Structure 1
Amino acid sequence: MDVLAEAVVAGAGADELRRLPLPDEFTAAHLRREDVESFVGVVDKDVRKTLHVGSVPMPELAPDEVLVAVMASGINYNTVWSAMFEPISTFSFLRHFGAKGGWAARHDQPYHVVGSDAAGVVVRTGAGVRRWSIGDEVVVTPAYVDDEEPATHADGMLGDSQLAWGFETNFGGLAHYCVARANQLLPKSDQLTWEEAAGNPLCAGTAYRMLVSDRGARMTQGDIVLIWGAAGGLGAYAAQLVRNGGGIAVGVVGTEEKAERARAFGCHAVINRAEIGLTGSAPADPAAVGKKLGKRIRAAVGEDPHIVFEHVGRATFGVSVFVVRRGGTVVTCGSSTGYLHEFDNRYLWMRLKRVIGSHGANLQEQAAVARLLDLGHIRPALSVTYDLQDTAEAARLVQSNRHTGKVGVLALAPRTGLGKRGAVLSH
């Protein structure tokens, strides 16, 4: 650990942090361009073979950026995709971004520092940064947007240049230091530990936009919401948002252990996918599976779902379109089992259903989620925490779907439980 990082961990003030030099290199979980072809023809694309932890050069800051000393980060499925080089290598994202020139050129490197969640301390600010100062404790949200683009001012996710930080950009959160635009930051809550604060932005923000925001499914009181993967990172936040919003959450999981977790996070009913004959691949007859699922949903809560919270993709999408009620909504944000979805369009068009694509969350939506966390109305979904050196093992846990909730990673924080100062507010 370099002297600046040591000072951050020791709780040094802004003046001391400003005086201490930046290191020339820092420790980061990263991919290497030389590994891109390593999984060609390989069935088990084990991310432990491609996620490296070691030194990378310290980049220069752009005027609108901050350098954050990362206390903790988290694993998201986009890090698994990155390390598998699927569906395409993220080095192609970096090359495309770097081709824009100027400050973007820094991102096109033979290494890719990954990670789309982070919490830490600001240690440097660019010349154009106004709202943030050295010493501020922050969380980094994952939407990397250009605030000079007109569409960004309608919705940060609509700009053509919007990117997923730490996935489509370099210098992400699984490291001792990360580089972020100032418009990605929010204050860290005193009521959360570093690892709790770090794990929320991507999954909680995404779930909020999908369900609560006027850009998503617009869930309202009494809505029945089917949540695939209800014990995972996205699902755990979705279940809480549904229950807190007066909805009825029905979760689908793969094991009894995950069923218990889903109930703990707010699911009113939980269905094991084995009960409906759903394995890890797309069913040959989605309607048949959908009929079994619909029967179990009605037995549990009395009605068909108004909304299906969809992120699994190919293995479930056809079932989702079938099982949602007439006039209902399937809202989707990802496809961990595959991007090419097949469904019977008759059930969509003749029953007046809707499919809404959702991606990430804008800064205002992230701020709304941060407020809910600060109030104690939703709680972090963190289930286990790894050290930065063990990032590959943490990502493998997510890749093999053996996790529940969010998987955290300690970067500079020497142990769990640090960073919490405030008393928890009552619900």
Structure 2
Amino acid sequence: MQQILDAILGDDLAKLGELPVPDHYRGVTVHAEDTEMFDGLPTREKDPRKSLHLDEVPTPELAPGEALVAVMASAINYNTVWTSIFEPLSTFGFLRRYGRTSPLAARHDLPYHVVGSDLSGVVLRTGPGVHAWQPGDEVVAHCLSVELEHPDGHGDTMLDPQQRIWGFETNFGGLAELALVKANQLMPKPAHLTWEEAASPGLVNSTAYRQLVSRNGADMKQGDVVLIWGASGGLGSYATQFALHGGAIPVCVVSSPEKAEICRRMGAELIIDRAAEGYRFWKDEHTQDPGEWKRFGARIRELTGGEDPDIVFEHPGRETFGASVFVAKRGGTIVTCASTSGYDHSYDNRYLWMNLKRIIGSHFANYREAWEANRLVAKGKIHPTLSKVYSLADTGQAAHDVHRNRHQGKVGVLCLAPQEGLGVRDEELRAAHLAEINRFRDQ
């Protein structure tokens, strides 16, 4: 592994195809034997530091259409948190089901799961049939793993019944020194970013692009009022940028003055600090408070000059969904992915059907959408939202901080990269956008 790292750091990338592939590598894992360790505990008390391990694991066999990547950096997503606390399900069920689909997929069905759905790094090897990528290519990876053996996947790969999220529903993820991906997950690394910066946008940037910009999502247009929950967070910070750069009007919902300031730095003007303003959408565990929906809607109209949101960018789920359906304008759209506060959503359907609103489910992105989202990063139009970086050995702490919402934007993890700040190829483009690149780091 040291030879591989020396070649990357020494810009001797052509040499990588000649170096031997290590038969083991370090990866962050959960263990099948631990799946019941948090039984009976409230979600908040489940601790990723106790379930995430840094193990030496065997290097998987490389199959046709795949690539083995030397991972320089990765990042934490909520799916890593869910994996680590075994909620809502243990991911070993995903691996078992995938393993039954083919002999090659059986490689993924193991008593350990190497996690992580982001990476930046360098291609080390490619399998038979891979022609677009070569050893030495600097890449990032999106997290859609799809077999494309079903006709439904050929209009939109997200509709393929065999689509999975790499590193969550498959094994050999990005929080490791090596990662196994399908070649059609690879995209060029933005040349002006460091390894850790380049690793951070992948999942959330692509998800926000499909959810808000794509015709498969809300199909945002200029002038749309877009209500964005968690607007300074990993997902919302990209939605805020897409809204601003797409000519829409974001209304940013945050939970602290610090997060409000980050939204202002991105260029947003309409901001609601829901903690400071004391919104409580639930009277108790079982009863929502429509009076709070109305107060929230009035606050939005106060900021927008009387307009309701054309689009509500939803991802908290249970806690906010009733309010989201209520405040969307007549004929408006609630587009939802994830459910970080709970999956059991409830809302008053009168406000949906009688006002002709739509709820759209959105999940990650297809290759075209992920490529377009990455292209905007590479051109310096959309910027990473990296706030803090951990070592691979401290991944448990990184996931714990995300679980407790102690982070801003995205949290990165150094894998093979020995320190921050490496991997920049285009210093001129970087210099032109350094303030935007660092705006989450300055908190």
Residues 100-115 of structure 1 mapped to structure 2, 5 A cutoff: 100-115=101-116
- CA distance, structure 1, for counterparts of residue 399 and residue 192 of structure 2: 27
189-198 or 281-290, larger mean C-alpha shift: 281-290
Name the structure 2 match of 1:234: 235
Residue aligned with 1:233, SS: coil
- CA distance, structure 2, for counterparts of residue 283 and residue 97 of structure 1: 37
- CA distance, structure 1, for counterparts of residue 18 and residue 370 of structure 2: 32
Query: Counterpart amino acid of 2:28?
Result: A
Shift of 1:398: 0.5
1:20 aligns with 2:19: yes
Contact 2:115 2:171 in 1 (8 A): yes
1:288 aligns with 2:287: no
1:395 aligns with 2:399: yes
Residues 26-425 of structure 1 mapped to structure 2, 5 A cutoff: 26-43=25-42, 44-274=45-275, 275-278=277-280, 284-302=287-305, 303-422=307-426, 423-424=428-429
Query: Counterpart amino acid of 1:129?
Result: V
Residue aligned with 1:147, SS: coil
Shift of 1:404: 0.7
Shift of 1:276: 4.2
- Cα-to-partner distance string for 1:60-90 (whole Å, 9 max, x where unaligned): 0111100000001000000000001011100
- CA distance, structure 1, for counterparts of residue 254 and residue 358 of structure 2: 24
Residue aligned with 2:291, SS: helix
- CA distance, structure 2, for counterparts of residue 20 and residue 67 of structure 1: 13
Residue aligned with 2:75, SS: strand
Contact 1:144 1:184 in 2 (8 A): yes
- CA distance, structure 1, for counterparts of residue 349 and residue 133 of structure 2: 49
- CA distance, structure 1, for counterparts of residue 405 and residue 173 of structure 2: 23
- CA distance, structure 2, for counterparts of residue 101 and residue 421 of structure 1: 40
Of all paired residues, the percent bearing the same amino acid is 55
Shift of 1:47: 0.9
370-379 or 326-335, larger mean C-alpha shift: 370-379
Change (3 A) 1:374 1:312: same
- CA distance, structure 1, for counterparts of residue 84 and residue 16 of structure 2: 34
- Cα-to-partner distance string for 1:9-33 (whole Å, 9 max, x where unaligned): 433232x222221111101111011
Shift of 1:259: 1.1
- CA distance, structure 1, for counterparts of residue 400 and residue 263 of structure 2: 22
Query: Counterpart amino acid of 2:199?
Result: A
- CA distance, structure 1, for counterparts of residue 402 and residue 268 of structure 2: 22
- CA distance, structure 1, for counterparts of residue 168 and residue 118 of structure 2: 11
Residue aligned with 2:287, SS: coil
- Cα-to-partner distance string for 1:170-204 (whole Å, 9 max, x where unaligned): 00000000000001001111111111111111001
- CA distance, structure 1, for counterparts of residue 204 and residue 293 of structure 2: 26
Segments of 5+ residues of structure 2 without an aligned counterpart are 434-443
- CA distance, structure 2, for counterparts of residue 140 and residue 282 of structure 1: 40
TM-score, reference length from structure 2: 0.93
TM-score, reference length from structure 1: 0.97
- CA distance, structure 2, for counterparts of residue 380 and residue 39 of structure 1: 34
Structure 1 residue ranges (4+ consecutive) displaced by more than 4 angstroms after TM superposition: 279-283
Shift of 1:284: 2.8
302-311 or 146-155, larger mean C-alpha shift: 146-155
